């Protein structure tokens, strides 16, 4: 019995101590994000409309793209998408992106929090 209790306690502590893998926490990224909406997309650049105006964002070979908690790619960067850009701000205002996180969309392309409507159940009435 002592072994069962010890195992249960160890499991509980491990689960509570480890951060959940499914929760995307932007504090895991270095630096402050530039957030806004993509207004244009080019092969190696996006333009993001922020509260401070439009920002040009250069996408390098090593730029990572995330969608929710999953890895994405540049094809996931589309006009109208809300993004958080982490990278280096150049003196001219341009940002060289290290990572672009697409917000409000899951890896399956659904808006986060979006639930597909269920078909109504048909009940037989006798």
- The predicted pLDDT at position 29 comes to 52
- The predicted pLDDT at position 18 comes to 38
Q: Whole-prediction pTM value? A: 0.63
Alpha helices (H) in 1-126, listed in sequence order: 2-17
Q: Which residue ranges form the domains of the chain, and what is each CATH number?
A: 25-103 (2.40.50.140)
| C-alpha dihedral, 108 to 110 to 114 to 115, nearest 10° | -60
Show the tokens assigned to 55.
């920002």
Of 82, 88, 89, which is closest to residue 67 (Cα–Cα)? 82
10-residue averages of pLDDT along the chain (126 residues): 51 41 46 93 96 96 91 94 96 95 68 40 48
- The predicted pLDDT at position 2 comes to 58
User: How far apart, in whole angstroms, are the C-alpha atoms of residue 100 and residue 111?
Assistant: 17
- The predicted pLDDT at position 51 comes to 95
């Amino acid at each position: 019995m002592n072994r069962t209790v010890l195992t249960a306690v160890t499991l509980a502590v491990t689960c509570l101590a480890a951060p959940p893998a499914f929760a995307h926490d932007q504090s895991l990224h270095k630096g402050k994000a530039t957030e806004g909406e993509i207004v244009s997309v080019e092969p190696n650049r996006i333009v993001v409309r922020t509260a401070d105006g439009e920002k040009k964002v250069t996408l390098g070979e090593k730029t990572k793209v995330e969608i929710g908690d999953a890895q994405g790619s540049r094809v996931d960067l589309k006009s109208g998408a809300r993004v958080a850009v982490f990278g280096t701000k150049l003196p001219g205002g341009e940002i060289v992106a290290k990572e672009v996180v697409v917000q409000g969309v899951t890896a399956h392309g659904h808006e986060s929090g979006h639930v597909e409507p269920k078909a109504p159940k048909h009940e037989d009435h006798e």
